[in-house]
Amino acid sequence: MNLIQWARSPWGERVPIHISWDLLWAAAIAGALFLIVHAIYVGYWAKPEAESPADSKAAAAAARVPERVARHSLGARLFHWVMAASMFALVLTAFLPKVGVKFSWVTIHWIAGVVLTISVLYHIIHATFWLDFWSIWPDKQDIEDASRRFNRAMGKPAPPPKKFGKYPLENKLFHLSVLFAGLAVIFTGIFMMYRVRTPFFTRNPYLFGDMTWGLMYVLHGLAGVGFVTLIMTHIYFAVRPEKVFLTKSMIFGWISRGKYLEHHDPERWPVGDAAPKARQSKAPEVVT
């Protein structure tokens, strides 16, 4: 299977023109296999984590937890759903024509790309100045807890891992994957708009040489098929019974006190009276 499609330029150079569309099916199959393996593992082999012993300080923090714990501000939720809608539009308009569904997709595609770009710019500003910017990035405690979970899963002795902060490590890693794929499609997509007629740029297909255009299309395509797998896993985790409370929080903005105490460490994610006053609402949840 050739991963890249090649062609000859008018000057006889061999240049890339796009990814192989076999990668679309590979991404879909990889996503489906992950979902199946994870479901089997959780259903038959995964063991519930032992509760970490709670100290007096954590117990005092838990006593201050409100009945409803605010998780996502209205602005964060709107960003999430606008981004989701634009992402679905981009993936469908990019790949449906490749599997035989014929329609006029170019205009819908670049409009969805503009919406995605604006929403991401809004999110960067919002998260930097109004939210807790670092809450979604992996830290030392995440790595330590991941090591403990891995060792215990392998049957090796290890201390019980602590409960999560606001975001588990897998959420943070998913966020990083979406970040890199999203920036790749946005960066390349903006320049690719020069090759079609839009109100924003004067059409100029000669802005770059054939090799540069080809590499840009390859990067755009790789990020696009990556989103196929990412979207599949995102939806899968969003509808799993033990994760539905997180999905609801992206609609209503809060989780219950019980779910908070069950899944989160009050010291790592302080809420209520214990929360920092300036930034109680943190970055949008990526449900995994």
Low-confidence residues of the chain, pLDDT below 50? 278-288
Q: Is 197 exposed, middle or buried (0-12, 13-18, 19+ CB in 10 A)?
A: exposed
Residue 286: per-residue pLDDT: 39
Q: What would the DSSP string read from start to end of 110-143?
A: HHHHHHHHHHHHHHHHHHHHTS-GGGGS--HHHH
Give per-residue pLDDT as tens, 222-257. 999 999 999 999 999 999 999 999 999 999 999 999
Distance between terminal CA atoms of the chain? Answer: 31
Residue 271: per-residue pLDDT: 87
Residue 60: per-residue pLDDT: 66
CB 178 within 8 A of CB 186: no
CB 55 within 8 A of CB 39: no
Write phi, then psi, for 70 (nearest 5 degrees).
-65, 125
Of the candidates 191, 197, 232, the one whose C-alpha atom is nearest the C-alpha of residue 26 is: 232
Give per-residue pLDDT as tens, 170-192. 999 999 999 999 999 999 999 99
Go through the domains of the chain in sequence order and give each one's CATH number: 57-274 (1.20.950.20)
What are the percentages of helix, strand and coil residues in the chain, rounded to 5?
Answer: 60, 5, 30
| 150, HSE (Cβ side, Cα atoms, 13 Å) | 7
User: What is the pTM (predicted TM-score) of this model?
Assistant: 0.86
